């Protein structure tokens, strides 16, 4: 009979992150991760499809937050307001106590070309999902794609700022700043230095 220890998934994830940082992602196996917390490789694979999934398992939840953001925008919201609603919903995923985890995850990903590609494809998938949600709320075809891509771009730039060393503002505050920069840029009011 299999005994499920509480929190096995969280312990595996924490151990994986530690190993990916200290030993390197490529040199860490699922067996190493399981062993670090006194579990078997088989148990690891009950929680994660592979060692990459440890880094990307939150994807569906984040995508759902994006979609919920569109769904809960006020009736007759403009596409821009729907994007704002989405950014607010996405921000709830990144409370201050998650910042250190996000920094470590980004360090791991930035050092590995295959993981960087996976992250880019994840962002592209988010943009496609967001555009589809906008279309389902009556946003015209091309505008939905533009708004979906813009929303994900703002999210990505905000994420990069949020994890910068010394940054202490909330994710939402930074998203609002970045969206303001996008609005100023497209209005043609930003000037180069």
Query: Contact with a second copy (CB under 8 A): which of 7, 24, 58, 138?
Result: 138
Helix-strand-coil split of the chain, %, nearest 5? 70, 0, 30
Whole-angstrom Cα distance, residue 164 to residue 141? 35
Q: Which of 146, 167, 172, 173 binds a second copy (CB under 8 A)?
A: 146
User: Positive or negative CA dihedral for 9, 10, 11, 14?
Assistant: positive
Which residue among 14, 71, 157, 172 contacts a second copy (CB under 8 A)? 157
Binding test (CB under 8 A) with a second copy, winner from 149, 167, 172, 173:
149
**Spatial separation of the C-alpha atoms in residues 106 and 101, rounded to whole Å:** 9
- Judged by CB under 8 A, the number of residues near a second copy is 40
Q: What are phi and psi of 123, to 5 degrees?
A: -65, -40
Q: Does 189 bind a second copy (CB under 8 A)?
A: yes
Of 43-51, 85-93, 96-104, 179-187: span binding a second copy (CB under 8 A): 179-187
CB of 190 to a second copy, least distance (A): 5
Helix and strand totals (H; E) in the chain:
10, 0
Candidates 36, 80, 132, 172; binder of a second copy (CB under 8 A) is: 80
Phi, psi (5° rounding) for residue 137?
Answer: -105, 20
Contact between 7 and a second copy by CB under 8 A: the answer reads no
Contact with a second copy (CB under 8 A) among 1, 2, 74, 193: 193
Closest distance of CB 132 from a second copy, Å: 14
| CA–CA dist 47, 51 (Å, integer) | 10
């Amino acid at each position: 009979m299999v005994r499920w220890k509480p929190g096995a998934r969280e312990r595996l994830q924490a151990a994986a992150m530690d190993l990916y940082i200290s030993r390197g992602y490529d040199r860490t196996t699922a067996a190493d991760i399981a062993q670090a917390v006194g579990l078997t490789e088989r148990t690891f694979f009950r929680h994660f499809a592979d060692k990459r999934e440890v880094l990307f398992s939150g994807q569906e939840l984040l995508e759902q937050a994006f979609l919920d953001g569109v769904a809960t925008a006020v009736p007759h919201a403009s596409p821009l307001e729907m994007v704002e609603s989405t950014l607010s919903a996405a921000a709830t995923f990144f409370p201050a106590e998650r910042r250190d985890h996000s920094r470590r995850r980004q360090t791991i990903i930035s050092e590995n070309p295959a993981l960087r590609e996976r992250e880019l494809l994840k962002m592209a998938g988010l943009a496609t999902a967001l555009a589809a949600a906008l279309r389902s709320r009556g946003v015209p075809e091309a505008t939905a794609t533009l708004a979906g891509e813009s929303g994900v771009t703002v999210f990505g730039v905000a994420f990069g700022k949020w994890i910068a060393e010394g940054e202490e503002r909330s994710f939402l505050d930074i998203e609002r700043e970045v969206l303001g920069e996008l609005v100023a840029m497209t209005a043609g009011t930003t000037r180069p230095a």
